[in-house]
A and B are shown apart, each in its own frame.
Chain A
Amino acid sequence: MKWRILTAVAATVLLAIVAVGYIALRATDAPAAGTSPVRLAGPGVLIRDTATGTLALQRPDGTRERSDLRCARVYAAAGTGVCLREQPESYELTVVDRELKKLSSIPLNGIPNRARVSPSGRMVSWTVFVTGDSYNGGRFSTRSGILDSRTGTLAGNLEEFTVDGKPSAPTANFWGITFTRDDNVFYATMSAGGQRRLMRGDFARRDMHPLKDNVECPSLSPDGTRIAYKKMLADRTWRLTVLRLADLVETPLAETRSVDDQAAWLDDSTIAYGLPHQRGKGADIWKTPADGHGTPELVTRDAESPSPTN
């Protein structure tokens, strides 16, 4: 019996050394986050640097300014930044100003998935992925919310809004919110009964109205006339597509790889999006013309979650 106990103690010590050693190694391995002051201004693209997991700015000259703010998803508009912070066992949404100073934060119940700021910088919206809801036969569940950063009004869950005046179905899921310039009308995706619909919502009235089927993760163009979105194809991959709101005409974009992202408009004619690496754990940002012509171009490597800062 004695040798068994000695063996067990030796094995425990050895395994503890391996475990602690590995943690120490990974801790020193991690690429150092930059300390250069980052301002959400000037020409460039706000990104999440996938090597460090931090909020960063990619300048047109190819330089990258990294902050020490760790985020799973970022977005900024008109000097308001949003960072869905990834922390052990909990997530929170942090609103920052132009100097990355923390203005407010709210806890999130789920894994950060999408984040947006309205063109004026006032309305902040997000989507998280909730795993506790896997009761519905292995399908995922999402939760989307809106924060009015000026008044502090919080709508933590779009499921509490009505659909054409009636409560939404208990199984309805919402994701991918995008706001118009008036800071009241927004668009989002509602999934219910196997259909993914584009919804047009009214924040003040807390009501939504369905517009069109098979539209996911809408992103409104700066001029407010078109929506870029991911359209699910028969083989369950997604094609980036642009929808003209006036007559609901669709234009598939030149990007033929499946894009699972809420795209961002760099300007009225260019759409940017993240594409994960085939292997490994990073992603790259690409852009493609919004009119369906041209070819996709690489914006920058090891980055995702783009938004223009100028």
Chain B
Amino acid sequence: MYLTGVRAGASLRGAPARRILTGNVLALGLVSLVTDVSAEMVTSVLPAYLVVGLHLSVAQYGLVDGVFTGATALTRIAGGYAADRFRKRKFVAALGYGLSAAAKLALLFVSAAPAAIGGVLALDRTGKGLRTAPRDAMITLSVPPERLGSAFGAHRALDSLGAFAGPLVAVGVLAAAGSAAGYDAVFMVSLCFAVLGLVLLALFVRDRRDKLPPEAVSLRAALGLLRRGKFRSVGVAALLLGLSTVGDGFVYLILQHRDGLPVTAFPLLAVGTALAYLLLAAPLGRLADRIGRRPIALGGYAALLVVYILLATTSAPIWTIVILYGAFYAATDGVLMAIAGPLLPAELRTTGMAVVQTGQAMAYLVSSVLFGLAWQSWGSGPACLAAAAAVAVAMVASTRLLKAGTP
């Protein structure tokens, strides 16, 4: 499976790929898989390591965690532009993967100073910001436009498989190494996965380097993207939909409060969502290619609308909500990129995708703050209904806006 898939990599130089899980998409998917194992195994132990292992006070932890999240937005767009300008998408992506690998190495040596730990986490997030847009741009350049939904679906399935496996690997490593010295072992194993991701990227991912019209990539052309009507419509839709989406933490927290879940069940909610996401991403992507990406994306937001309404009530069983929430991710995350990608000229695709992703990230930040305020002043039930109403409004607006971008 793996070997034939890699051999078919030749097909990405123009000829239409027969199967989707071949060539660049498979290679990028595997890179994402091992990188996500690396990232998520650290994420799952980091709070405990900082507080129990390094004796960072909880207030210091909040500071470390909150301070650098905004910084990735700028590097993301700058990285996207640089990837287009020098036509080195693979290089910028490799830089991103490399920075995150370096951060894992630094974790092995960093002392308890909050500034040092904050710096390491900033390095890690900068790396993540840098690599996302070039990676997605390479996916869109690897398959013909009519198969983009399937390609993103397959990639996201592999990606979330890594996110699903990461915490489990961490548990295994901690159990094998003994918990007193276990964190170092987790970081070392994470570093190995990160390096493997880099190796796979270097060996198997191909970057398409077409001849460019002279001066096609300039800051003016990049700004000009925002004047392209269709792309702008889709970008605005992504922003609006992002504004109506509240963070995962809220959803899990409300579920826990609502049902008075046994405290150990908390991590299982994230695992359940990841499982639903990983199982549904590929079939929904294929379906998007067959019946249209817009209905699938809007269907995903309809699932989110139902999730928010169910959160406000007490009747729905918890697994329904978790499956619907995973379906929301599977139907929207890759599919929106598949809608936006073909609207961008190939030479500016990374920049354009970075703009959309940054817009989404900013929108999530705003909506999470607003939702937090709504929760504080109205309680969780009304806040969820307000979020559901916001999704409904964003869906109505997006139905028209996304029309521009879908076949």
For chain A, residues 89 to 112, give those with C-beta under 8 angstroms from any C-beta of chain B.
Answer: 89-90, 107-112
Taking CB atoms, residues of chain B closer than 8 Å to A51 are 180
Q: Contacts A132-B253, A140-B59 hold; do A26 and B182 have CB atoms under 8 A apart? A: yes
Taking CB atoms, residues of chain B closer than 8 Å to A260 are 57
Taking CB atoms, residues of chain A closer than 8 Å to B249 are 132-135
Partner of B192, one of A18, A52, A113, A170: A18
A150 at the interface (CB under 8 A from B): no
CB of A18 within 8 A of CB of B369, answer: no
What per-residue 1/0 map shows which CB atoms of B48-81 lie under 8 Å from chain A?
Answer: 1001111101110111011101000000000000
Distance in Å from the Cβ of B299 to the closest Cβ of chain A? 27
A204 at the interface (CB under 8 A from B): no
CB of A88 within 8 A of CB of B52, answer: no
A7 at the interface (CB under 8 A from B): yes
Q: Which of A8, A70, A110, A112 counts the most chain B CB atoms within 10 A?
A: A8
Q: Which of A8, A88, A278 counts the most chain B CB atoms within 10 A?
A: A88
Taking CB atoms, residues of chain A closer than 8 Å to B369 are 137
What per-residue 1/0 map shows which CB atoms of A81-93 lie under 8 Å from chain B?
Answer: 0000011111000
Q: Which of B69, B179, B252 counts the most chain A CB atoms within 10 A?
A: B179
Q: Contacts A72-B52, A88-B170, A135-B250 hold; do A276 and B112 have CB atoms under 8 A apart? A: yes
A139 at the interface (CB under 8 A from B): yes
CB of A23 within 8 A of CB of B173, answer: yes
Closest residue of chain B to A258, judged by CB?
B57
A12 at the interface (CB under 8 A from B): yes
CB of B185 within 8 A of CB of A26, answer: yes
CB of B62 within 8 A of CB of A134, answer: yes
CB of B250 within 8 A of CB of A129, answer: no
Distance in Å from the Cβ of A144 to the closest Cβ of chain B? 13
**Footprint of A on B, CB under 8 Å?**
3, 6-7, 9, 44, 47-48, 51-55, 57-59, 61-63, 65-67, 69, 111-112, 167, 170-171, 173-182, 184-185, 188-189, 192-193, 195-196, 199-200, 203-204, 247, 249-250, 252-253, 262-264, 266-267, 368-369, 371-372, 375-376, 379
CB of A27 within 8 A of CB of B178, answer: yes
Binds B, one of A34-42, A179-187, A279-287, A288-296: A279-287
Q: Contacts A89-B170, A109-B263 hold; do A70 and B179 have CB atoms under 8 A apart? A: yes
Q: Could you tell me the distance between the alpha carbons of A56 and B193 in the complex, rounded to whole angstroms?
A: 37
Q: Could you tell me the distance between the alpha carbons of A51 and B9 in the complex, rounded to whole angstroms?
A: 51
Q: Contacts A16-B192, A19-B192, A134-B249 hold; do A88 and B182 have CB atoms under 8 A apart? A: yes
A131 at the interface (CB under 8 A from B): yes
CB of A27 within 8 A of CB of B203, answer: no
A249 at the interface (CB under 8 A from B): no
Distance in Å from the Cβ of B8 to the closest Cβ of chain A? 10
CB of A135 within 8 A of CB of B47, answer: no
Taking CB atoms, residues of chain A closer than 8 Å to B176 are 23, 27
Distance in Å from the Cβ of A8 to the closest Cβ of chain B? 5
CB of A142 within 8 A of CB of B177, answer: no
